[in-house]
Structure 1
Amino acid sequence: MQLASLGSGSKGNATLVHADDTLVLVDCGFTIKETEVRLGQLGLVADQLSAILVTHEHGDHIRSAGALARKVGCPVYSSFGTASAVHDKRASLKEANWQEIRPGRTFTLGAMEVLPVLVPHDAREPCQYRFSWQQRTVGVLTDLGAITPHVVDAYRDCDALVLECNHDSQLLASGPYPASLKRRVGGMLGHLSNDQAAALLRQANVDRLQHLVLSHLSEQNNTSLHALDAVQRVVTRGRERISVASQTEGFDWLQVH
């Protein structure tokens, strides 16, 4: 089982999870052309995608999801709320081979079992995803404003975890955003701070983690050093397991053994 990213941040998000003969793209927040270029940098072509999973309707996650699914002929999965919230015909999921997923209900996607996890975010029916294959588990968890018991239960035991560290609270407070945007980002339906991500890890089986990727870092309100400092207070052993996803390059393939 392996995972990679095409890019992570407010300008576009896309994560790949691969097991056996199944290749899944979680979100597609880039144009089709840019997505294909970034796939090529990982040695892939879009026709190899088994499916596209969408977490929610914000543009940095859904920009070309529907159009790419139509182009390559693969299904696209989302909650009903997410599909209903998309009004841009270029991104429309229901005009593609759309499959509805139900939060909390595991479904089979090729070789993998997928659990959609409902999260608190300012979207219609946002879900993050956990993937399982042969006793291995990969979690993708970004774009949520609070750590709920439900989220902890879903992501407690992962072999690899892509975890949002969107902002440093002090940098956000003193940064350039207007007050209304600061409240949104730092609110219960916004994005995880570094300290919130660390709080989740305190409740997780961090010794099991082979890879921990800090993701969706704000270019204005965070730095890699701030995020790493907060998380490394919890993950005190095996710090080489921790990496940071970038907006421009995402991260290269990580193997889950």
Structure 2
Amino acid sequence: MSLHFSVLASGSTGNAFYVGTDKHSLLVDAGLSGKQMELLFKGIDRSVRDLSGILVTHEHSDHIKGLGVLARKYKLPVYANEKTWKAMEHNIGEIPLEQKFVFGMNTVQSFGSLDVESFGVSHDAAEPMFYVFHHEGKKIVLITDTGYVSDRMKGTIKNADVYVFESNHDVEMLRMGHYPWSIKRRILSDVGHVSNEDAALAMTEVIGDQTKRIYLAHLSTDNNMKDLAKMAVAQTIESKGYVIGEQFDLYDTDQKSPTKLAYV
């Protein structure tokens, strides 16, 4: 029973993450239309109908756009904490009661041998939380949409085999860009998004002997570039003595196409 995953889509226009074992599979967020989500699954040779459920991180539209459609069409269980349920209900349409489940903050739910641990992040949503996936000693961390990475978060996500880690913006691109100052201030705040540099510094404190893959996620369309993010993150990580390409590999993600299905 091997653990496998794909970053189906990641960025300011839509986010979705797939993770599974041979017996259970989960979707985290459905931030694109139902039709787009189905195409993303086709791209990794998987089907939405085989999912064990959908986990929700928070209620922002780039994370729940296709949630209601997929849940109703495929009769899938949906898991979110109580505050997120309340915040998103008017945007996702009616979900049958038997498909609605509460997944509390800082708790663990098991899907067969796949254990999912939730943890809180710092973002301007009702009660945003992300997930750590545990299976037979292997560990995958999904962490985006946070203004900073606290010591508590670092303790939860330490020494994972795989990180899908927010690297949202280049600070200078954001400062010099066309966004209104109110939006810039929000992104740079403790409830916004982490920059390339801050993400890299946090990574250097959580990378461990098990770590084999790091995916840079939720890149801003207007305030970042894939090559820039990879270069900035690589420079900071390697300045701390790590060797990318030997100890672990660094990947980017895309807003419209999935990463290759990978096994842990």
TM-score relative to the length of structure 1: 0.95
How many Å apart are 1:197 and its aligned residue?
Answer: 0.7
Of residues 16, 19, 25, the one that matches 1:23 is 25
Show CA shifts across 1:26-45 (max 9, x none): 00011111111111111112
Aligned to 2:57: 55
How many Å apart are 1:208 and its aligned residue?
Answer: 2.2
How many Å apart are 1:91 and its aligned residue?
Answer: 4.6
| Contact 1:26–1:54, Cα closer than 8 Å, also in 2 | yes
Aligned to 1:248: 256
How many Å apart are 1:106 and its aligned residue?
Answer: 1.3
Show CA shifts across 1:127-162 (max 9, x none): 100000000000100001111111101111200010
Residues 1:195 and 2:201 aligned together: no
1:118-133 pair list within 5 angstroms: 118-133=120-135
Show CA shifts across 1:5-53 (max 9, x none): 2211111110001113111100001111111111111111211111100
How many Å apart are 1:225 and its aligned residue?
Answer: 2.1
Residues of 2 paired with 1:91 and 1:76: CA distance?
Answer: 13
* Shift in CA distance, 95/12, structure 1 to aligned 2, threshold 3 Å: farther
1:103-122 pair list within 5 angstroms: 103-122=105-124
2:206 is paired with a residue whose SS is coil
| Contact 2:44–2:258, Cα closer than 8 Å, also in 1 | no
Residues of 1 paired with 2:117 and 2:228: CA distance?
Answer: 31
| Contact 2:159–2:209, Cα closer than 8 Å, also in 1 | no
* Shift in CA distance, 170/91, structure 1 to aligned 2, threshold 3 Å: farther
1:16 is paired with a residue whose SS is strand
Residues 1:136 and 2:138 aligned together: yes
Residues of 2 paired with 1:156 and 1:92: CA distance?
Answer: 38
| Contact 1:22–1:112, Cα closer than 8 Å, also in 2 | yes
Of residues 99, 102, 107, the one that matches 2:101 is 99
| Contact 2:120–2:130, Cα closer than 8 Å, also in 1 | yes
| Contact 1:67–1:96, Cα closer than 8 Å, also in 2 | no
Residues of 1 paired with 2:77 and 2:212: CA distance?
Answer: 30
* Shift in CA distance, 91/8, structure 1 to aligned 2, threshold 3 Å: farther
Aligned-residue identity in percent: 32
2:237 is paired with a residue whose SS is coil
2:90 is paired with a residue whose SS is coil
Deviant stretches of 4+, over 2 Å: 87-96, 205-208
Q: Which amino acid in structure 2 is aligned with residue 160 of structure 1?
A: V
The number of equivalent residue pairs is: 256
TM-score relative to the length of structure 2: 0.92
| Contact 2:57–2:130, Cα closer than 8 Å, also in 1 | yes
How many Å apart are 1:62 and its aligned residue?
Answer: 0.6
Residues 1:237 and 2:239 aligned together: no
1:202 is paired with a residue whose SS is helix
| Contact 1:83–1:94, Cα closer than 8 Å, also in 2 | no
Residues of 1 paired with 2:87 and 2:191: CA distance?
Answer: 17
Of residues 167, 192, 211, the one that matches 1:165 is 167
Residues of 1 paired with 2:180 and 2:94: CA distance?
Answer: 31
Residues of 1 paired with 2:98 and 2:220: CA distance?
Answer: 31
Residues of 1 paired with 2:6 and 2:98: CA distance?
Answer: 25
Between 82-91 and 9-18, report the one with greater CA deviation: 82-91
Between 177-186 and 247-256, report the one with greater CA deviation: 247-256
Residues of 2 paired with 1:107 and 1:225: CA distance?
Answer: 37
1:132 is paired with a residue whose SS is strand
1:242 is paired with a residue whose SS is strand
| Contact 1:86–1:93, Cα closer than 8 Å, also in 2 | no
Q: Which amino acid in structure 2 is aligned with residue 255 of structure 1?
A: Y
1:5 is paired with a residue whose SS is strand
